[in-house]
Amino acid sequence: MSSQSFSLQADYQTFIDELGKSDFKGDINTDLATRIVFATDNSIYQNLPQAVIAPYHHDDIVCLTQLLSHSKFRHIALSARGGGTGTNGQSLTSSIILDTSKYLTHILEINPEQRWARVQSGVIRDQLNDALKEYGLFFAPSLSTSNRATLGGMTNTDACGQGSRIYGHTSDHILESTCIFADGTSHIIKSKPTKQDLKQNSTRLQSLSDKLSNQLTAHHQEISQRFPKLSRYMTGYNLAQCQNHDNNNHLNLNKLIAGSEGTLAIVTELKLNLMPIPKFKYVFALFYTDFQDALKSAHQLLAIHPTSIETIDDNVLSLAKKDPIYTELEDFFPREVTR
């Protein structure tokens, strides 16, 4: 990379100058060190952004997107970033990064009776579950990076992991999202809106919903043929599940926002469904002489409705034995069978 490409492009400098003069209260970073830190995530890719912007609150993002919607700045892209744990480089951009993990980290409300929590999108999954412990509740969708991934990132990748057989994905637990569209308008999107809620929709949201609903109905057959019937759904626009054709064509826009990798809206807040923490947990370790036999028996094991099944081959097991935490697990793996 030449030193020329490290310097801020003139049009970005103009944008940053105008943002600095606006009501925006958050951090605007254009120094090379910060840009280099945000040039990588958990993927193999590297992409140097022009600036890294950390909003203090929802209104900052409204201010930012409204400015970006002016015709002179239309070519400037904004990529939201949570924990940066994505493996496909989804949060990287050569344009502007919106860092939600710095200030949008507040748990706004917990309602244990009705079993929901309202959070800002930069709240980390484990942070929420730590706060919920005293109520005997938890946010069920899980993932390996749960001590770093944010709920905004989980929403936008429709994340799930251990336990998804029983608890489903992030999108199954979104009751409401607060979203800012590219034109700077802000919308509360309910997963199960009542007639009253629909009446309160902004004209923009209602017109988008109507157009989408018409398209989904018109192409229903093709969508159901083309989308694979998978329980672990892929990231992307979930056209197959955002309209329920068995329930009066009910449209759940949160199913579409979830998995859209920040391309449809910036999510600033989420109202999330909570589950009771299970009273008991069991772990069964079964041993097979052949890896293929282990895979083949998965169907039989499903009959006992496990939360999840992990298959570990001897390669992984021998590597795990070298890890210091293995001593906490070794009772599950008796020497005589795992030698």
For residue 127, CA distances in Å to 141, 220, 232 come to 14, 39, 25
In the complex, least distance from residue 309 CB atom to ligand FAD, rounded to whole angstroms = 14
Q: Using only the alpha carbons of the chain, give its radius of gyration.
A: 23
**With respect to ligand FAD, which residue has the nearer C-beta, 63 or 154?**
154
Q: Which residues pair with 180 in a beta bridge?
A: 186, 266
In the complex, least distance from residue 222 CB atom to ligand FAD, rounded to whole angstroms = 27
| 98, 62 contact by CB (below 8 A) | no
In the complex, least distance from residue 146 CB atom to ligand FAD, rounded to whole angstroms = 8
**With respect to ligand FAD, which residue has the nearer C-beta, 161 or 338?**
161
Residues 4 and 6: their CA atoms lie apart, in Å, by 5
**With respect to ligand FAD, which residue has the nearer C-beta, 164 or 252?**
164
In the complex, least distance from residue 2 CB atom to ligand FAD, rounded to whole angstroms = 28
**With respect to ligand FAD, which residue has the nearer C-beta, 27 or 135?**
27
Single-letter amino acid, residue 110: I
Residues 257 and 266: their CA atoms lie apart, in Å, by 9
In the complex, least distance from residue 180 CB atom to ligand FAD, rounded to whole angstroms = 9
Residues that bind ligand FAD (CB under 6 A): 41-42, 79-87, 90-91, 100, 121, 143-145, 149-150, 152-154, 156-157, 159-161, 261-262, 266-267
**With respect to ligand FAD, which residue has the nearer C-beta, 244 or 308?**
308
What would the two tokens of residue 328 be?
């906490």
**With respect to ligand FAD, which residue has the nearer C-beta, 178 or 201?**
178
User: Mapping DSSP to helix (H, G, I), strand (E, B) and coil, where does residue 53 land?
Assistant: strand
Residue in the structure block whose two tokens are 């490290």 = 6
| CA 332 centroid distance within chain | 33
| 227, 221 contact by CB (below 8 A) | no
**With respect to ligand FAD, which residue has the nearer C-beta, 49 or 262?**
262
In the complex, least distance from residue 267 CB atom to ligand FAD, rounded to whole angstroms = 4
- Give the residue closest to ligand FAD by C-beta: 153
CA neighbor of 92 nearest in space, from 154, 45, 146, 157: 45
| 155, 80 contact by CB (below 8 A) | no
CB neighbour class for 232 (10 Å; exposed up to 12, middle 13-18, buried from 19): exposed
**With respect to ligand FAD, which residue has the nearer C-beta, 14 or 69?**
69
In the complex, least distance from residue 93 CB atom to ligand FAD, rounded to whole angstroms = 8
In the complex, least distance from residue 330 CB atom to ligand FAD, rounded to whole angstroms = 24
> In sequence order, what are the residues at sequence separation of 6 or more whose Cβ sits closer than 8 angstroms to the Cβ of residue 233?
158, 169, 241, 259
